[in-house]
Structure 1
Amino acid sequence: MSNGAVSFEKEVDVESILSEASAASQDFVFEDNDDDSDVWVAEKNFVVSPPTEPASEPEVKGALDPEQADILSAYSSEQGFREIAVGDLRQHLDTAPDSVFVLDVRSAWEFSRGHIPGATNINMDDLSAKVKSGALDHVRDSTVAVICAAGLRSAQAAVRLHRVFGFQDVVNVRGGTTEWIKNGFHVDM
C-alpha cells in the first residue's frame, strides 16, 4: 500500500462456519479480532418470530402517476411547493431587492465560498431551532427564497418552512447556488 499501512488478510472457510451455525440453530454475526479465534459468534437470547403473512397494504391508486395519485407528495404544487429559476430570482432581486428574503441553508463553510448577495445563512441542521427561537419571524409574511448548493436541501427546507412552520410564501431556488454561478451571476464571498 502506498500510505505505509500494513494489511492483514484472514482466510475464512464460509461453508464450515455456515454449517456450524446451522447445526447450532442460532443466528450469528461475524467478528474479526485479528487473532485465530472463531470469526463468528452465536447471538444469545435472540428471538426470531416465525414468518408471518405480510399484512395487506391498501394499494395507492396511480401512485406513480401524479395526475391520478390518491396521495400527494409534499413537493407537489398541489401541496403548495413552488420553485423559482435563478434568472427569475435575480430579476426580482434587481428590480425590488426588499421583496424577497434569500435564505441560504448550506453550511457556513459553503456559504463563505460564495453566496447570493444579501442572502442570510442558516445551516439546514439549525433551521428548525432558529425558526422556533423567532430568528425568522421578521420574514414570516415575506417571500422567502430558499437556496442551497443544488436545490435538494433547500427543497426540504422550503417544505419545512411552509408545511411545518406555516410560512405562506416560500419558494425553492431550482438548481441552487451552482446554477446561479453557472449563469454568471455575481456572488459575495
Structure 2
Amino acid sequence: MKSIKLKTLSLAMAVILTFALAACASKSEPAPAANTEPAPAPAQTPEVSSNTDVIAEAVDSYFANMPSDIYKIGDKEFVEKVKANENMFIMDIRMPDAYEKGHVKGAVNIPWGTAISENLDKLPSDKPIMVYCYTGQTAGQTVALLNMAGYIAKSVHLGWNLGISKVEGINDLIETTPNELVAGMPADTKPEIKAAIDKYYKGLDEVKGTTYANYKISEDDAKKLLDAKDDSIIFLSIRNAEDYAKGHIEGALNIPFANGMEKQFNTLPKDKKIIVYCYTGQTAGQTVAALRLLGYDAVSLNAGMGTPATGDAGWMNKGYPVVK
C-alpha cells in the first residue's frame, strides 16, 4: 500500500513539474515581430459626379433635347393662349416700374436678377412657364436656366416692347393690378444646378454699370472693340450656316443654334470674352446662359444682327459692316 502511495505521489509531482516547465517556456518565448508594413488604405468610393459634370450634363441635355420651337413661343400665339385662359404660368421679368404701368393679365412679376433664383422653388413644374422681358434677350437667358433646373419654360418672341405690345387686341388683356406669386409644385432641381443659377444671377452685380451689364454688349461698344482689333474678344455667330455665309461680323466663328451645337462648345476659347449673336438676341441669350454655366466668359450682342422687327437696333440695322 505504501508503495502505491509513493508511486501516486511521484506521478503527481511529475505532472506538476511538466506544467510548470511548459509555463516557463511560454513566458520566455519571444513575441512575434510586429508587422511594420503600412496598413492598406481603405477602398475609395468613386465619386458619382462632380459639380462640373452635373452642370455639363444639364447643358448637354438642354441642347440635345431642344424642341422644334427652340424654347420660344410667338408673340401672337402667346396672346391667343392668354385669351383662351390656358393653364400656364406667366412670368414678367421686367423691372417693377414697367410691370406696374401694365402687364399681361395674370402675369407675376419676378424681376430679372436674384429675385429669380430666390424664387426658383416657388415656380410650378406642372405647367408651362411663359417668360417675357423687354425685347427677349434676358428672357432667353432665364428660359435656358429654368429648363436646366427642370421646368418647362419658353420665352415670348421679341418680349413686351417689340412683340406683345404690338399684337392686335392686346389692350384688352393688359392689367395694372399686381399678381402675387403663389408657391407651386417645384421641380426636383439638383443642388449643383441651384447653386450655379444662384451664382449666375448674383454675378449680375459684378457687371452692373459696365459695358457688359446684364451679360450683354451694345452694338456700338462691340463695334469699338472690333475696330480696335481687341484680341481679348471673339465673336460667335449662332445663325444658320447659309446666313453666316451671306454675311457675318469679321472674324466671327459659326456654330448654328440647333440640336448638337453643344458638341462644339469645347472648340471655343476660355481665355477670351465671347460675344454671341443671332438674329434678334433671344437664342443668343440662351447660348450665353449655357456657356457661362460651363465657365466661358460669354455675353450677347444687343438685338443680334437685327431684323425689320428690331427697328434700328441690331448690327446690320445700324449699318455696321459684315464680311462673306
Instruction: Give CA-to-partner distance per residue, 1:122-141, whole Å, 9 cap, x none.
Output: 1122431112xx312xx112
Distance 1:162 1:121 in 2: 18
Does residue 286 of structure 2 align to residue 153 of structure 1? no
Residue in structure 2 matched with residue 144 of structure 1 by the alignment: 274
1:129 partnered with 2:257: no
1:94 corresponding residue in structure 2: 227
Shift of 1:68: 8.1
1:171 alignment partner AA: V
State the partner residue of 2:295: 166
* Cα pair 1:92 1:99 within 8 Å, conserved: no
Correspondent of 1:180 among 309, 312, 315 = 315
Post-superposition Cα deviations, 1:13-44, rounded to whole Å, max 9, x if no partner, equal xxxxxxxxxxxxxxxxxxxxxxxxxxxxxxxx
Q: Write the letter of the residue equivalent to 1:181.
A: M
- The separation in 1 between residues aligned to 2:114 and 2:278, in whole angstroms, is 31
How far residue 79 of structure 1 moved from its aligned partner, in angstroms, is 4.9
Contact 1:148 1:154 in 2 (8 A): yes
Letter of the structure 1 residue corresponding to residue 264 of structure 2: K
Q: Which runs of 5+ in 2 are unaligned?
A: 1-95, 97-107, 121-138, 143-199, 205-213, 307-313
* Structure 1 residue 99, shift from structure 2 partner: 2.0
CA distance in 2 between counterparts of 1:82 and 1:96 reads 21
2:231 aligned counterpart, secondary structure: helix
Alignment of 1:1-150 (within 5 A): 64-66=109-111, 69=115, 70-71=118-119, 74-75=141-142, 78-80=202-204, 81-125=214-258, 126-131=260-265, 134-136=266-268, 139-150=269-280
Change (3 A) 1:120 1:79: same
Under a length normalisation based on structure 2, what TM-score does the superposition of the two structures give? 0.35
Determine if contact 2:277/2:301 at 8 Å carries over to the other structure: yes
Q: Percent identity?
A: 27
Q: After TM superposition, give the deviation of residue 97 of structure 1 in Å.
A: 3.2
Aligned residues of 2:114 and 2:202 also touching (Cα < 8 A): no
Cα separation, 1, equivalents of 2:263 and 2:114: 37
* TM-score normalised by the chain length of structure 1: 0.57
Query: 1:166 offset after TM fit, Å?
Result: 1.5
Q: Amino acid of the residue matched to residue 110 of structure 1?
A: D
Deviations 1:143-186 (A, max 9, x none): 000001110111111101001x221x211111001110111110
C-alpha contact (below 8 Å) 1:93/1:99 kept by paired residues? no
Rounded Cα–Cα distance in structure 2 between residues aligned with 1:96 and 1:112: 22
Q: Distance in 2 between matches of 1:85 and 1:78?
A: 21
| One-letter amino acid of the counterpart of residue 253, structure 2 | T
**Helix, strand or coil at the partner of 2:274:** strand
- Contiguous gaps of at least 5 residues in structure 1: 1-61
Cα distance in 2 for partners of 1:100, 1:129 equals: 22
Larger Rg computed on CA atoms: 2
